[in-house]
């Protein structure tokens, strides 16, 4: 998957799928249930379950359109926070919020969203993103707090409990406070002390729609490998993702671009645990970006 060798990936998955000793369907803890067992999806009423992280759901929403090309109907049972995005995604006939009980709808086959590309034998053209594939509901009110003539740069530095190596200590992010840049924290729950260390103002929100609009209004997002990176990529927003040395499979090991999200630029650790080189590289790029922005601003004022 990392190398883009998708046919080989599905062959490996087929081999592994044939070796599993299956328990009865829909038994045991929800997140451990193996639902799809290789059944044909063509012409079926398919329920897609989103049991992984928010970023996983956003990344794999791109496969709902090709899934709908073969299925009779596609229903997505997703995290409640993402419902405004999922119900508007191409290929989704209906969506409803995930809960701990059984799904309260009729379906013929259910599959976890991260297994969909295997089930449909996704090809590179299904993976490679050429245009944004999520959209936001119409705005009820304007997003505020980003006014000013400086380059507005959003920051996210903390991740969930899975793989804390992705987190950057906020004390290091002050390196990104460069002239001509306004740093804006999108980090939910950031402490006042952390914001002061970084020199950032808090514009964070728990609302996924408002967050998406913030990303569209920012000039740039700088973040670690978390849900916000996927949201920015899926919307086609400009973002830099700071990655630890042993980054997840979905990112290339060393390249600065990803076929999953062409609007993202990747910055990799050279040695495990050392964020100084990553932030130093991002700082130099940000200084250049700010200088270019200011030249455009001055030209516009003439």
Residue 144 falls inside a structural domain: no
**Cα of 270 vs its chain's centroid, Å:** 23
What is the count of structural domains for the chain? 2
Contact 185, 195 (CB under 8 A): yes
Q: Which domain holds residue 264?
A: 151-301
Write down which residue in 77, 111, 127 finishes a domain: 127
What mean pLDDT, rounded, does the chain reach?
91
Q: Could you report the per-residue pLDDT of 106-123, keeping only the tens digit for each?
A: 999 999 999 999 999 999
Same domain as 91, residue 178:
no
Report whether pLDDT(213) > 80. yes
Between CA 231 and CA 238, with CA 234 as vertex, the angle to 5 degrees is 80
Rounded CA gap, 27 and 168, in Å?
Answer: 38
Give the confidence band of 145 by pLDDT, cuts at 50, 70, 90: low
Residue 106 falls inside a structural domain: yes
| Closest CA relative to residue 265, chosen from 278, 248, 275 | 278
Same domain as 203, residue 121:
no
Same domain as 171, residue 117:
no
DSSP 269: -
| Closest CA relative to residue 112, chosen from 60, 185, 55 | 60
**Cα of 283 vs its chain's centroid, Å:** 23
Same domain as 162, residue 104:
no
Give the confidence band of 9 by pLDDT, cuts at 50, 70, 90: very high
Residue 235 falls inside a structural domain: yes
Same domain as 281, residue 217:
yes
* Count helices and strands in the chain by DSSP H and E runs: 10, 10
Residue 216 falls inside a structural domain: yes
Same domain as 122, residue 159:
no
| Closest CA relative to residue 76, chosen from 48, 53, 54, 100 | 48
Same domain as 185, residue 78:
no
Q: Read off the pTM.
A: 0.93
Any idea which residue has 């398919």 for tokens? 46
Residue 213 falls inside a structural domain: yes
Rounded CA gap, 126 and 293, in Å?
Answer: 35
CATH, residue 223: 3.40.50.2000
Write down which residue in 92, 127, 162 finishes a domain: 127
**Range scoring the smallest mean pLDDT among 28-32, 175-179, 214-218:** 28-32
How do beta strands 200-202 and 220-224 pair? unpaired
Residue 156 falls inside a structural domain: yes
Same domain as 205, residue 243:
yes
**What secondary structure does DSSP assign to 171-194, as a single string?**
GGGGGG--TTEEEEE--TT--HHH
Residue 135 falls inside a structural domain: no
Q: What is the mean pLDDT of residues 26-44?
A: 79
Same domain as 108, residue 213:
no
Same domain as 259, residue 119:
no
Residue 132 falls inside a structural domain: no
Of 139 and 89, which is predicted with more confidence? 89
Q: How many other C-beta atoms can be found within 10 angstroms of the C-beta atom of residue 1?
A: 15
Give the confidence band of 293 by pLDDT, cuts at 50, 70, 90: confident
CATH, residue 24: 3.40.50
Instruction: Please report which helix (H) or strand (E) contains residue 20, including its range.
Output: none
Same domain as 160, residue 291:
yes
Q: Could you report the per-residue pLDDT of 55-72, keeping only the tens digit for each?
A: 999 999 999 999 999 999
Report whether pLDDT(32) > 90. no
Same domain as 46, residue 184:
no
């Amino acid at each position: 998957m990392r190398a883009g060798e998708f046919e080989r990936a599905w062959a490996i998955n087929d081999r592994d799928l044939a070796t599993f000793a299956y328990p009865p369907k829909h038994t045991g803890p929800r997140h451990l249930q193996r639902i799809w067992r290789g059944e044909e999806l063509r012409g079926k009423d398919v329920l897609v379950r989103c049991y992984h992280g928010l970023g996983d759901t956003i990344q794999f929403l791109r496969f709902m359109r090709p899934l709908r090309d073969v299925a009779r109907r596609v229903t997505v049972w997703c995290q409640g926070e993402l419902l405004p995005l999922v119900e508007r995604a191409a290929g989704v006939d209906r969506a409803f919020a995930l809960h701990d009980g059984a799904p309260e709808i009729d379906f013929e086959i259910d599959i976890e969203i991260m297994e969909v590309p295997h089930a449909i034998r996704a090809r590179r053209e299904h993976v490679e993103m050429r245009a944004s594939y999520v959209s936001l509901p119409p705005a009820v009110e304007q997003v505020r707090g980003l006014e000013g003539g400086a380059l507005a740069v959003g920051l996210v530095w903390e991740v969930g409990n899975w793989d804390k190596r992705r987190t950057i200590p906020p004390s290091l992010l002050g390196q990104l406070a460069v002239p001509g840049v306004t740093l804006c924290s999108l980090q939910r729950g950031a402490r006042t002390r952390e914001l002061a260390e970084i020199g950032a103002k808090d514009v964070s929100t728990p609302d996924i729609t408002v967050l998406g609009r913030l990303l569209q209004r920012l000039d740039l997002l700088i973040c670690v490998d978390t849900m916000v990176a996927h949201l920015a990529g899926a919307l086609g927003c400009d973002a830099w993702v700071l990655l630890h040395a042993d980054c997840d499979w979905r990112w290339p090991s060393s390249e600065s671009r990803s076929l999953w999200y062409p609007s993202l630029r990747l910055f990799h650790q050279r040695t495990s645990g050392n964020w100084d080189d990553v932030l130093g590289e991002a700082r130099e790029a940000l200084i250049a970006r700010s200088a270019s922005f200011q030249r455009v601003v001055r030209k516009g004022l003439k």
